[in-house]
Amino acid sequence: MEDDGVRERDARAYETVHEAADFTELKRRYRNFVVPWTVAFMVWYLAYVACNNWARGFMSQQVVGNINVALVFGLLQFVSTFAIAAVYGRFANRKLDPLASGLNAKYKRERRR
């Protein structure tokens, strides 16, 4: 029986947090970061794949020694992934974490009621 009371209290606490303006703002900020960066990365990745398939002359051009454009583009895929992760980390620390911490504190307060 007590389990039902705990679950009900947790559900009420979650609903309270879910209805908070900060929760809506957190989702909005997250979405406004993730969607454009995901689209940008996918365009960059698909451009790389398309060039490898249909622009072989361009991709096989030598840059330095045996290093060609395809190898540089391939390495830049890794660099861009880590760059986006670093930008996201800074963004999350500045814009998402303060809201998430406040919501977490609110959730814990509501659970104690």
> 40 near 11, Cβ under 8 Å?
no
What mean pLDDT do residues 45-63 have?
97
Residues 4-32 have pLDDT tens digits of: 778 888 889 889 999 999 999 999 999 99
Q: What does the mean pLDDT of the chain come to?
A: 94
Domain layout of the chain by residue ranges = 2-112
- Which one has a higher pLDDT value, 1 or 68? 68
**pTM for the complete prediction?**
0.84
**pLDDT value, residue 112:** 85
At residue 2 the predicted structure's pLDDT band, cuts being 50, 70 and 90, is low
Q: Please check whether residue 17 is in contact with residue 23, taking contact to mean a CB–CB distance below 8 angstroms.
A: yes
